[in-house]
Each structure stands twice: as structure tokens, then as C-alpha cells.
Amino acid sequence: MFTEPHRPIDFLRRRGWLEVVCGSMFSGKTEELIRRLTRARIARQRVEIFKPALDTRYHDQNVVSHNQNSIRSTPVQSPSEILLLAGGATDVVGIDEAQFFDESLVDVCRQLADAGTRVIVAGLDMDYLGRPFGPMPALLATAEFVTKVHAVCVCCGELAAYSYRLSASESQVLLGETDAYEARCRPCFLAGPAARPAIEAARAAWAALGLVRR
């Protein structure tokens, strides 16, 4: 095998990098994170998974996707805990809901990758107003690999990149599921409440065709 002669073999074996999976709610970020981490475990790599302690929607410990795939994780209060818990003997670190961490996550991911760890981060790139969310812009800028996944717009069926909030809350952090958010494409996101009649019309049409119950 060809190796660069001036680099020790350990350096080549322990080559780290940062991967980011981003998109709107329901776009498959967590599914994709779980898929990558499961494959790493099949390859007998040592995998650790972290999520912000504040995200207790489906389970206090597991990372759980909207279609109930799940993987064991460690909830942490701050990114520095990830360094303490994953430093050393970990090959792959997975981090879900990265948008909820502060900016220090960027340096923690860099330190892990510099030390030879494959770091896979999943998170919302935009909040409910379409603003870049938390440390995600800096993570996207510094990652070797970026994957943007898309949901299906619940109003029109196009690809959705936005998370439309159904309530009037103006707090950037508001945990929720389909009760609180809809995946929407750009025109339906901009249409706001006016896009709702389109959903009702589509449902009525599907029901008339016998595709769904009224």
C-alpha cells in the first residue's frame, strides 16, 4: 500500500474529519445520522452519540427519529462534556440536534476531528423564521462533508427546506413535532397561514378519490 513516507502510520490510520447533515424538520437528518452510526458499529468502530439534554421529546436518553428509529445516546448540558466523554478511545462521534448547542460546539468538533475522530453532526440549518440556527453555519463552513436533506412540503408535495411554526410563539427554542411545526417549501413557507386552505383542498381531493379517509 502507498503511504506518504514522511507521515507516521498512526497519523494515517487516525485521520479525522467533520460531516454535517442539515435540513428542515422531518427531512431525515436523524435517520441519516443513525444510518451512518449503525454502519460504523457494523465496522466494529467505537461509536459515541450525544444530544443536548434539553431535547427530551421522544426519550430522555435515546436519539429517536420521527419514524421511531432509535439509538442510545448520552444527553449533555454543554459541548465541553462531549470532549470529556469522547476523548481518546472513540472512533466516531455522533451529535444530534446540534442547533441547540452554543458556538463552543464548533471548537469541540474541530478538536475531535484534529485528534483523528470522525465527527458526524446533524441539526436544523434554519429556525422557524428561516434564520441560521445556533452553531450550524460555522459547522457547515468548517465541515469536510455537508449533506442537505429535504422533507416533503405538507401543503403542496414539493421538496421542503423550511420548518413552519404553527403557533405564535416567538421564542427561538420551542420543542415540538407535527403538533407545532410543518415542513414547507419556500412558496408555502412565505404564504404562511394562507397555505392552509391548499392543504385542506388537497385532503378533500384525496378523500374524494378514496386515497385517504375524511
Ligand X SMILES: Cc1cn([C@H]2C[C@H](O)[C@@H](COP(=O)(O)O)O2)c(=O)[nH]c1=O
Closest contact distance (angstroms) between CB of 147 and Zn ion is 22
| Least CB distance to ligand ADP at residue 57 (A) | 10
Q: Binding string to ligand X for residues 99 to 138, with x set by CB under 6 A, is what?
A: -------------------------x--xx----------
User: For residue 99, with 0-12 CB atoms within 10 Å meaning exposed, 13-18 middle and 19 or more buried, which class applies?
Assistant: buried
154 binds, among ligand ADP, ligand X, Zn ion, none (CB under 5 to 8 A by kind): ligand ADP
Does 126 engage in binding with ligand ADP (CB under 6 A)?
A: no
Distances (CA, A) of 183 to 27, 67, 99, 173, 188: 8, 15, 17, 17, 9
Positions 61 through 80 that interact with ligand X (CB under 6 A): none
DSSP for 25-80, please give it. Answer: TTSSHHHHHHHHHHHHHHTT--EEEEEETT--SS-SSSEE-TT--EE--EEESSHH
How many CA atoms lie less than 13 Å away from 11 in the CB half-sphere?
7
Q: Which of residues 155-214 bind ligand X (CB under 6 A)?
A: 163, 172-176, 181
**Does residue 182 have an active-site annotation?**
no
Q: Which is nearer to ligand X, 117 or 163 (CB)?
A: 163
57 binds, among ligand ADP, Zn ion, ligand X, none (CB under 5 to 8 A by kind): ligand X
Question: Closer CB to ligand ADP, residue 8 or residue 157?
Answer: 157
Strand pairing report for 17-23 and 145-149: parallel
Given 19, 48, 97, 182, which residue is catalytic?
Answer: 97
183: contact with ligand ADP by CB under 6 A: yes
Number of H helices, E strands in the chain: 7, 12
- What torsion, rounded to 10 degrees, do the Cα atoms 122, 125, 126, 127 define? 30
List residues binding ligand X (CB under 6 A): 25-26, 29-30, 57, 124, 127-128, 163, 172-176, 181
List residues binding ligand ADP (CB under 6 A): 23, 25-31, 65-67, 151-152, 154, 183
